[in-house]
Structure 1
Amino acid sequence: MKHNRTIQMRMLATITLLLTITCTQVFATTPGKVVGGKSFDTPTWFKDSFLEIADDVDEANESGKHVLLFFHLNGCPYCEQTVNQQFQKEPLKSFMQEHFDSIEINVRGDREIAMTEEITTTERVLAEYLKIQGTPTIILLNGKNQVVLRLAGYRSTRALQQAFNYVQQMAYLETSFSDYKRANMQYGQYQFIADTLIETVSDFSSIKEPVALLIEDDDCDDCATFHNKLISRAEIREQLEQYRFIRIDGKSEELITDFNGRRISPRDWAAELKMDYRPGIILFDEGKEVARVASLLFPFHFEHLLRYGLNKNYLKYNRYGELMRARQEELFARGIDTNVGKPDDW
């Protein structure tokens, strides 16, 4: 009898301890939150537009300018970097003021905007109609209210200047932006950085597992940051280790074999893939593209882009942002903050 009472007392103590731990976990944890967002003000010299874009285009055309549409989001760290570190500083500030009528559009805004006589809607719906999937996105229009260049994501100052030159010179009448960039490349600006995860492959035709294709060349502003600040992080390497992480030289003319068994140069393959950003990342699974990034991402976003290409997550979620938000909710419930901005050690 005494033995049974002892067992009962031990069981009661164990249950009490478990309940205490569970209650502590449930009630003592403060929900996590998003950190790293950055507030910013669009430049005062942006046009105070009535958001009748066809009229804006006509006015810009009369002044020998193009219209620049800047799609942004409140708290977007990439937008803040673009505005404060580029638009508000020379040489871009003076160049933009001289050659562009710049108009800001909030992708979650409710202001009415008339893109054409046929299309009048809100900022939010227009962003969806134009398939704006990330901020900032810059759209440049010609004198006929037609898109001549679209830039998604953060770009270096030199890359933006090159894009703006392309439009200001009206080079779009003669050539694509990709060909324009190739004709104006600089050489020796960047030397490839070795990494134990990176492979060099000349035949992709038999690869069925997930591939993270890295496209670099020696005319790259962001490649050193990509290696030294982004893929050096433990959480990023943990995801990359589940890929075949393969680098090709976007300038190379040496023939390789692509996923479909074709012989093609990396230069031509990158052009065919329409990847003119460096370092460009394209994710493949079973030889099919599932996602890409054509701008420099901060760690949390890049980690979830990589997660999206693994375990068939691209079949479960329409976009990597949906996967990211789902995981954020899981982390918040565990009291973990998610930093969507630039880390302090960047």
Structure 2
Amino acid sequence: MAWRSEVGRLSLLLAVLWSFVLPHAFGAGPGDGDPYSFDDFPMDEPITYPVWFKRSFLDIRSDLSEALAEGKRGLMVYFGQQRCPYCERLMRVNFGLSDIVEYTRRHFDLVPIDIHGIEEVTTPDGALLSERDWAQREGTDFTPSILFFDAEGRIALRLRGYYPPYQFRAALEYVADGHYRRESFRDYLARGENRMLFDPEDLNEEPFFAPPPYNLDRRRTAERPLVVFFEQGDCHPCDVLHGQALRAPGIQRHFADLDVVQLDVRAETPVITPAGTRTTARAWAADLGLFYAPALIFFDEKGREFLRLDSVTGFYRLRGVLNYVADKGYRTQTYGAWRSSRRD
């Protein structure tokens, strides 16, 4: 109905507006008020799940059937770790908000998976895998990761990493209201952003960013990996990344061994991609499906994308990724498998 469509557009607009109001309302310093700035080192104490998380026998097909029988829209599968600060942020901040909890419980059941767990899982496609093996198969390298399964058992949306409440609310509505059938999550969020006008602002600069022109063609093997920073002006999480994690000498030294480029996701800056395609920064970001800034996309010497950081990222997570790159782990293992091999 028309009124429901208008309510949906208003809800999305308010969610995007809140994304700009919230950081400035609480300031940009470290603390619980800023959703982008917190200590991301492993915690001393394990996480406690909310009591309303589903107690599952880990037969995901049965869990989905039970959710649908109760009139819900689908199933959320949460992939996490016991001492993950990003997971704790999701539990305490996002699931500490009554409207998010109420909306989640009304439309979905939520099943938790430990990415290091050994319990057997029956996946939606009928495979029998350990929690750990399923997590690696689904590429849940950065926790918390959430898979949204629709009524047909298809993945409607993947969230990899922690997203603050306003984007998390939008993700819930995107799936529950069936928008995933008609448009990408990026386009869904953009419809709210396009109704808000801001004066353009300059991007944060770093000494390791290569100047234009941006010829990133890697059809002829390059000498070292490439990382592309996709950013934008008016971007509080970009400011936090540059003002905190990227200030650390232990982080900066890694970029000396990489080709590093910064692109504005809203700009028509000419780019030749690693695959040799002529495009613009804006169009390439759209082709990559990016909906969060800053996003760091890593490519190997032959132009293959092997990892992306496109959610809230702090010092500890970024350091782990850069160690993986320096170790050349991307040549033989996914980041999740590499990290697990070092853990064993």
Structure 1 residues 80-117: Cα deviation after superposition (integer angstroms, max 9, x where no partner): 12111212224422321222211112223344433348
Which of 161, 186, 189 does residue 153 from structure 1 map onto? 161
- Residue 249 of structure 1: how far off its partner (Å): 1.0
Q: By how many angstroms is 1:167 displaced?
A: 0.6
User: Are the counterparts in 1 of residues 68 and 151 from structure 2 also a CA contact under 8 Å?
Assistant: yes
Tell me if the contact between 2:217 and 2:273 (Cα under 8 Å) persists in the aligned partners.
Answer: no
Deviations 1:295-318 (A, max 9, x none): 233323312322433475533x52
Is the CA contact 1:109–1:122 (under 8 Å) kept in the aligned structure 2? yes
Contact 1:140 1:150 in 2 (8 A): yes
- Structure number with the bigger relative contact order (C-alpha 8 A, sep ≥ 6) is 1
Mapped contact 1:37–1:76 kept (Cα < 8 A) = no
Which one of the candidate residues 67, 74, 80 is aligned to 1:72?
A: 80
For the 8 Å contact 1:251–1:266, the answer to whether it is kept is yes
Map 1:21-60 → 2, pairs under 5 A: 36-60=43-67
Cα distance change of structure 1 residues 58 and 195 upon mapping to structure 2, 3 Å threshold:
same
Please give the secondary structure, in 2, of the residue aligned with 1:166. helix
Q: Distance in 2 between matches of 1:117 and 1:274?
A: 25
Report the Cα distance in structure 1 between the residues aligned to 2:342 and 2:126, rounded to whole angstroms: 40
CA, structure 1 residues 312+128, in 2 after alignment: closer, same or farther (shift >3 Å)? closer
Change in Cα spacing, 1:312 to 1:121, as seen in structure 2 (3 Å) is closer
Corresponding position of 2:208: 197
Aligned pair in 2 of structure 1 residues 126, 146: CA closer, same or farther (>3 Å)?
Answer: same
Alignment CA distance shift 1:189-1:125 (3 Å): farther
Asked if 1:134 corresponds to 2:142, the answer is yes
Say whether the 8 Å CA contact 2:42–2:84 is kept in structure 1: no
Cα deviation per residue 1:249-292 (whole Å; 9 max; x = unaligned)? 11223433334443201121122234333211112344513432
Match of 2:110 in 1: 102
**Is 1:231 the counterpart of 2:246 in the alignment?**
yes
* Counterparts of 1:123 and 1:260, CA distance in 2: 35
Q: Is contact 1:38-1:77 (8 Å) kept?
A: no
d(CA) in 2 for partners of 1:323, 1:52 = 28
Matched residue of 2:110: which SS? Answer: strand
For residues 189 and 77 of structure 1, the distance between their equivalents in structure 2, rounded to whole angstroms, comes to 34
Aligned length: 295
Distance 1:266 1:76, change over 3 A: same
Give per-residue Cα distances to partners, 1:25-74, cap 9 Å, x unaligned.
xxxxxxxxx96455211111122334332233233234133211111122
Contact 1:138 1:150 in 2 (8 A): yes
Using the alignment, how far apart are the partners of 1:328 and 1:60 within structure 2?
35
- Rounded to whole Å, the distance in 2 between the matches of 1:110 and 1:324 is 16
Separation of aligned partners in 2, 1:60 and 1:323: 35
User: Could you say if the C-alpha distance between residues 119 and 261 of structure 1 is closer, same or farther in structure 2, counting changes exceeding 3 Å?
Assistant: closer
* Structure 1: distance between partners of 2:114 and 2:327: 34
Q: Distance in 2 between matches of 1:169 and 1:104?
A: 23
Is residue 263 from structure 1 mapped to residue 271 from structure 2 by the alignment?
no
Distance change (3 Å), C-alpha of 1:84 and 1:310: same
Q: Which runs of 5+ in 1 are unaligned?
A: 1-33, 330-346
Distance in 2 between residues matched to 1:141 and 1:322, nearest whole Å = 24
The answer to which of 180-189 and 47-56 deviates more is 180-189
Range with bigger deviation, 306-315 or 70-79: 306-315
SS at match of 2:76: strand
Tell me the residue number matched to 1:272.
Answer: 287
Considering only CA atoms, is the larger Rg found in Structure 1 or Structure 2? 1
